[in-house]
């Protein structure tokens, strides 16, 4: 029962922080310092990624009509606009997918520690403040996903690569920031980030599951399922909150939050 309660807590943290630009992986690494799951190290490394699959399914449910590429009337086909959108999503996935496949274990070894997480939190927190100040009077160039070009998609994919390499960066934070930098509206940048998460996190989760071996104890299986279901439910709330928030506000609050949290983590790491 204690492990199930821990899994629920992990799911809540994942569901909130996966979509807000504050780094879900960074928060889970920090949470694990104080509330450890009674599981093997191999399971923990897999859990850290696969729990995000629950959060991703929230995007699939909320945006199913926009994401589902097929139409059946008058005949089975893929509309040009849907095909174009998915091709842009896949193009944006390429940089992170390539690096993830080649260097997944090395990245875990080098950067899944407090200091790299703290530095990434602070650096991208400052970046949000700088970009928001720079964009105060700049006109929006792209106001819908249909207007995103393949060049835009590649640039956003390169920003996502930063999150794939440096935990604490925040995948949603990096891609939203990249989108805003090149002229996307906040809502368009957020929605493209949500869509981009679907193939990226499904692929990352599959990779981790295959590496783990798909062999779970009863406790491990239950912990994983409970964490994913909790993350799914909380993610639906978090996504709707973020979309409502950015219609009236900028990302400065998240920038300040990242800087403060990063400094706290840095001081904690030094004290240890």
Q: Render each residue's pLDDT in the chain as its tens digit; 272 residues.
A: 888 999 999 999 999 998 999 888 778 878 888 888 888 888 888 888 889 889 999 999 999 999 999 888 888 888 999 999 999 999 998 887 787 766 666 766 666 677 888 888 999 999 999 999 988 888 899 999 999 999 999 999 999 888 777 777 888 889 999 999 999 999 999 999 999 989 888 887 888 888 888 788 888 889 999 999 999 999 999 999 999 999 888 899 999 999 998 898 888 888 87
Cα separation, 208 vs 138, in Å, equals 41
Total number of domains in the chain: 1
Q: What is the pLDDT of residue 91?
A: 93
Cα separation, 129 vs 258, in Å, equals 11
Q: Which two tokens stand for residue 61?
A: 């449910």
Question: Helix 80-111 to helix 150-165 angle, to the nearest 10 degrees?
Answer: 20
Residues contacting residue 138 through CB under 8 Å, at least 6 positions apart? 183
Which structural domain range is residue 61 located in? 2-271
Q: Where are the alpha helices (DSSP H) in the chain?
A: 2-17, 24-34, 41-62, 64-67, 80-111, 114-134, 150-165, 171-181, 186-212, 218-246, 252-271
Q: What is the pLDDT of residue 267?
A: 87
Q: Which two tokens stand for residue 150?
A: 């393949």
Q: What angle do CA 54, 221, 26 make, to 5 degrees?
A: 50
Q: What is the pLDDT of residue 105?
A: 67
Question: Helix 171-181 to helix 150-165 angle, to the nearest 10 degrees?
Answer: 150
Q: Which two tokens stand for residue 229?
A: 């279901």
The pTM of this model reads: 0.86
Question: Helix 218-246 to helix 2-17 angle, to the nearest 10 degrees?
Answer: 30
């Amino acid at each position: 029962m204690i492990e199930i309660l821990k899994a629920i807590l992990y799911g809540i943290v994942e569901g909130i922080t996966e979509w807000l630009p504050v780094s879900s992986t960074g928060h889970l690494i920090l949470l694990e310092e104080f509330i450890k799951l009674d599981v093997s190290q191999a399971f923990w490394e897999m859990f850290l990624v696969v729990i995000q699959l629950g959060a991703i399914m929230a995007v699939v449910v909320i945006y199913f009509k926009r994401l589902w590429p097929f139409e059946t009337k008058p005949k089975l086909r893929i509309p040009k606009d849907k095909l174009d959108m998915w091709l842009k999503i896949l193009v944006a996935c390429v940089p992170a997918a390539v690096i993830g496949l080649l260097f997944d274990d090395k990245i875990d070894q080098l950067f899944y520690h407090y200091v790299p997480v703290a530095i990434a939190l602070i650096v991208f927190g400052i970046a949000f403040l700088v970009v928001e100040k720079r964009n105060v009077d700049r006109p929006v160039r792209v106001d819908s996903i249909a207007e995103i070009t393949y060049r835009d998609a590649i640039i956003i994919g390169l920003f996502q690569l930063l999150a794939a390499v440096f935990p604490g960066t925040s995948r949603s934070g990096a891609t939203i920031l990249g989108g805003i930098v090149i002229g996307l509206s906040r809502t368009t940048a957020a929605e493209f980030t949500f869509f981009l998460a679907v193939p990226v996190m499904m692929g990352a989760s599959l990779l981790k599951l295959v590496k783990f071996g798909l062999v779970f104890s009863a406790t491990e299986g239950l912990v994983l399922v409970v964490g994913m279901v909790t993350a799914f439910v909380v993610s639906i709330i978090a996504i709707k909150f973020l979309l409502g928030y950015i219609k009236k506000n900028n990302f400065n609050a998240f920038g300040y939050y990242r800087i403060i949290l990063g400094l706290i983590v840095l001081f904690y790491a030094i004290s240890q």
